[in-house]
């Protein structure tokens, strides 16, 4: 138990739990009401100073007692990008504006759920590492650190103890989300009931999960979208096959580089502002987050060392996980779909990890329900009477296509993304995961 003592001490040093001290320090740049409910550092081992930065926003208006209100955890992709992008540019309660101020986001995911952003792995965002060797090089190491951080977070307040936890994330988090979900379920099996992490489901937005299948789809996707011609399609397909070959030989690092080349070719052929959204005439502006979080008073408000240089994405973490990028975690999704709930969602305009890149690996899943899932009706999804996208589900697996959105889907469709996550978590509307409902006999064409 000696390690527990050193652990607690370490934890105290790293914890900035919204002490009144900070209220007096909030500034014009960071209004007091925009401060997270809790924020600071969660240690990941008792023996090092490595720690994961977190920002937690309690539900604004939960319809349940707080002790039963679901907790969402958000993980950014990269590898090495900071969840503060999600927080201040996508789905958090306050978004950074062009003039580097904060503005309320009516589509925040913390309207009726607690929302926890974790800068993971260590070295990303505000998270710190004691030695570069401690930065994870594979998904198991990422998950181990996350498990420690989540466990520590839940212990911060008794009100967190029994709340259902949903792990969510985007892009390369299509790797992290299954990895931590899988790790939790494996770990829970050997823990006392009181020590288990109360995992209720996982959600992946525009994710990279099964790269070998996914990388092979860019050419046809762009071709049938009208963005490239047949000769370009053939050229791109050749480059894609090279990536697949490298994956099959286990040349992981080379495979990651070769995928980068495929995407660069597609970029060069199309001249798009960004492959993240083929309708945009300018890239997403997540650099606003970097500029905002490097303001000294903002760092002070968040309890971060003012000499810390914040980057939206860390090259050091990117390099540590470079050889991991093309490794599949599909088997972990197969494990999770049998024991938990899985939501996949994509923005229709994303050419990186979009609709086609998701369908292609989902249909290869080894799961008893896959045939029923693939044959299930793709239902028209409306929010407040307006077309919002399409929902397809069978039992524990749900796939959503969100219209009018690219890769950073909650940025583009804030309110619809909120409606989606709320309805999926609460199993409302089209998200009830029931076997296909009986088709109404009434013609939809009748007046």
Evaluate whether 280 touches 273 at the Cβ level (below 8 Å). yes
- Smallest CA-to-CA distance from 392 within 440, 434, 336 is with 434
Name the DSSP letter for residue 430. G
E strands present in 122-186: 165-171
In the complex, the smallest distance separating the C-beta of residue 287 from ligand NAG, rounded to whole angstroms, is 22
E strands present in 211-311: none
* List 119, 206, 210, 350, catalytic entry: 350
350 is catalytic: yes
Cα–Cα distances (Å) from 123 to 81, 128, 208, 343, in that order, read 9, 5, 21, 28
Of 24 and 190, CB closest to ligand NAG: 24
In the complex, the smallest distance separating the C-beta of residue 30 from ligand NAG, rounded to whole angstroms, is 19
The Cα–Cα gap between 321 and 142 comes to 10
In the complex, the smallest distance separating the C-beta of residue 222 from ligand NAG, rounded to whole angstroms, is 14
Evaluate whether 113 touches 69 at the Cβ level (below 8 Å). yes
In the complex, the smallest distance separating the C-beta of residue 403 from ligand NAG, rounded to whole angstroms, is 25
Binding site for ligand NAG (CB under 6 A): 61, 63, 249, 251, 254, 261, 264-265, 268, 305, 307, 437-438
407 is catalytic: yes
Evaluate whether 114 touches 71 at the Cβ level (below 8 Å). yes
Of 61 and 384, CB closest to ligand NAG: 61
Handedness of CA 238, 244, 249, 253 (dihedral sign): positive
In the complex, the smallest distance separating the C-beta of residue 202 from ligand NAG, rounded to whole angstroms, is 26
Of 99 and 438, CB closest to ligand NAG: 438
Evaluate whether 188 touches 197 at the Cβ level (below 8 Å). yes
The Cα–Cα gap between 201 and 431 comes to 13
The Cα–Cα gap between 391 and 367 comes to 19
Of 303 and 318, CB closest to ligand NAG: 303
* List 407, 412, 414, 423, catalytic entry: 407
Of 191 and 437, CB closest to ligand NAG: 437
Of 24 and 438, CB closest to ligand NAG: 438
138 is catalytic: no
* List 171, 314, 328, 396, catalytic entry: 171
In the complex, the smallest distance separating the C-beta of residue 254 from ligand NAG, rounded to whole angstroms, is 4
- Cis omega (within 30 of 0) for bond into 286: no
The catalytic residues are: 171, 350, 407
């Amino acid at each position: 138990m000696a390690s527990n003592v050193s652990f607690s001490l370490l934890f105290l040093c790293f914890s900035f739990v919204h002490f009144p001290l900070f209220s007096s320090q909030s500034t014009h740049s960071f209004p007091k009401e925009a401060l997270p409910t809790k924020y600071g550092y969660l240690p990941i081992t008792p023996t090092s100073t490595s720690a994961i930065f977190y920002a937690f926003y309690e539900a604004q208006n939960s319809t349940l007692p707080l002790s039963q209100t679901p907790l969402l955890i958000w993980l950014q992709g990269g590898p090495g990008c900071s969840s503060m992008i999600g927080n201040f540019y996508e789905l958090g309660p306050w978004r950074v504006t062009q003039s580097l101020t904060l503005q309320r986001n009516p589509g925040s995911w913390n309207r009726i759920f607690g929302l926890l952003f974790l800068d993971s792995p260590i070295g990303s965002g505000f998270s710190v590492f004691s030695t570069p060797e401690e930065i994870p090089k594979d998904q198991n190491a990422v998950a181990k650190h996350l498990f420690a951080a989540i466990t520590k977070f839940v212990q911060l307040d008794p009100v967190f103890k029994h709340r259902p936890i949903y792990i969510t994330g985007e892009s390369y988090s299509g790797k992290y989300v299954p990895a931590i979900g899988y790790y939790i379920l494996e770990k829970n099996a050997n823990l006392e009931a009181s020590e288990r992490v109360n995992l209720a489901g996982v959600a992946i937005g525009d994710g990279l999960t099964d790269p070998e299948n996914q990388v092979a789809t860019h050419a046809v996707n762009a071709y049938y979208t009208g963005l490239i011609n047949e000769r370009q399609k053939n050229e791109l397909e050749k480059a894609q096959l090279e990536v697949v070959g490298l994956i099959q030989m286990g040349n992981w690092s080379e495979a990651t580089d070769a995928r980068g080349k495929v995407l660069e070719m597609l970029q060069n052929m199309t001249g798009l502002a960004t492959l993240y959204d083929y309708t945009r005439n300018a890239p997403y502006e997540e650099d606003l987050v970097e500029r905002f979080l490097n303001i000294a008073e903002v760092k002070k408000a968040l309890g971060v060392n003012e000499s810390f240089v914040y980057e939206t994405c860390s090259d050091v973490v990117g390099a540590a996980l470079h050889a991991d990028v093309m490794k599949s975690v599909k088997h972990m999704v197969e494990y999770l779909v049998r024991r938990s709930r899985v939501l996949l969602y994509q923005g229709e305009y994303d050419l990186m990890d979009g609709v086609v890149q998701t369908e292609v690996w989902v249909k290869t899943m080894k799961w008893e329900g896959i045939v029923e899932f693939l044959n299930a009706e793709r239902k028209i999804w409306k929010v407040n009477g307006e077309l919002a996208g399409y929902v397809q589900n069978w039992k524990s697996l749900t796939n959503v296509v969100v219209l009018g959105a690219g890769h950073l889907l909650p940025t583009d469709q804030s309110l619809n993304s909120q409606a989606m996550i709320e309805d999926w978590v609460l199993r409302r509307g089209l998200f009830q995961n029931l076997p296909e409902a009986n088709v109404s006999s009434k013609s939809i064409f009748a007046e």
